[in-house]
Amino acid sequence: MFTLSSRTAIVLGSFMFVTATQVTAQVSPSLGEAISEADLAAWDISIETNGDGLPDGSGTVTQGRSVFEAQCMACHGAEGAGQPHDRLVGGHGTLDSMQQIRTVGSFWPYASTIFDYIRRAMPFNTPQTLSDNDVYAVTAYILYLNDIIEADDVMNARTLRRVEMPNADGFVLAYPQRTDK
């Protein structure tokens, strides 16, 4: 048996430098198949906090209202008020109370996460069926309901990455070290 006891990662300042251990390099059968960026694009659905990964397309608050009422309201309530499932709106100022209400508006630190999550996981029973335009639109509608954007704002790859969430400063990093201690 080989072991992985030798540390293979060395942290150098803010970036990481990775060296192959001889042992693992020897035993790897190297069976991965090369794939081009174009051929893997369909799987690359995650959106980074700086907006990297946001696709082409756009959507308005008005379009988002129609998408929401047709595809989301049955589970998330009129105007995202919740019931039977997660409330998507409001809860501002409740985080320190015993009845804290965590919503997209009161809690989520990044707008990129809304697009990322809705596109990959919603509607719950038919995920990955909305068009990118519809995801932009319903994202715009949820942001509007939370008073984060205006009624006539349009969401696209350029505008969504600039949206600042109200609770962006509400988090304390616990990795690699707690930053408040």
Partner 1 sequence: MSKRDKQTADLEFVAGNGLIHRRMFLTQGAAMAGSLGLLSATPSHAEPLEIPPWMKAPGSHMSAYGQRSRYEDSVQRVVGGTPGVVGSGVSFTPIEKLHGTITPNSLHFERHHSGVPDIDPDGHQLLLHGLVDRPLVFSMDALMRYPTVTRIQFLECSGNSGTNLGPQAQQAPAGVLHGLMSCSEWTGVPLSILLEEAGVRRGANWVLAEGADAAGMSRSIPLEKMMDDAIIALYQNGERLRPENGYPMRLFLPGYEGNMSVKWLRRLKVNREPTMTRDETSHYTDVMLGGKALILTFPMGVKSLITSPSTGLNLTEPGRYEITGIAWSGAGKIARVEVSADGGNTWAEAALTEPVLSKSFTRFRMAWQWDGGPAVLMSRAIDESGSVQPTREALTREFGERRNYHNNGIQVWSVAARTGEVTNVYA
69 binds ligand HEC (CB under 6 A): no
Burial of 142 (0-12, 13-18, 19+ CB in 10 A): buried
Applying CB under 6 A, which of residues 82, 91, 105, 123 lies at the interface with ligand HEC?
123
> Which of 101, 102, 73 is CA-nearest to residue 85?
73
Q: How far apart are CA 139 and CA 159, in angstroms?
A: 12
**Which of partner 1, ligand HEC, none interacts with 20 (beta carbon under 5 to 8 A by kind)?**
partner 1
Which one of 58, 66, 113, 159 is in contact with partner 1 (CB under 8 A)?
A: 113
Nearest distance from residue 22's CB to partner 1, in Å?
A: 11
Count of residues binding ligand HEC (CB under 6 A)? 18
DSSP assignment string, 44-66: -----TT-TT--S-EEEHHHHHH
Distance, CA of 119 to CA of 179 (rounded, Å): 32
The entry of partner 1, ligand HEC, none near residue 113 (CB within 5 to 8 angstroms by kind) is partner 1
Q: Residue 158 contacts by C-beta under 8 Å, 6 or more apart in sequence?
A: none
Residue 76 binds: one of ligand HEC, partner 1, none (C-beta under 5 to 8 A by kind): ligand HEC
Q: Which of 20, 25, 41, 74 binds ligand HEC (CB under 6 A)?
A: 74
**Residues near ligand HEC, by CB under 6 A:** 71-72, 74-76, 85-86, 88, 103-104, 117-118, 122-125, 130, 138
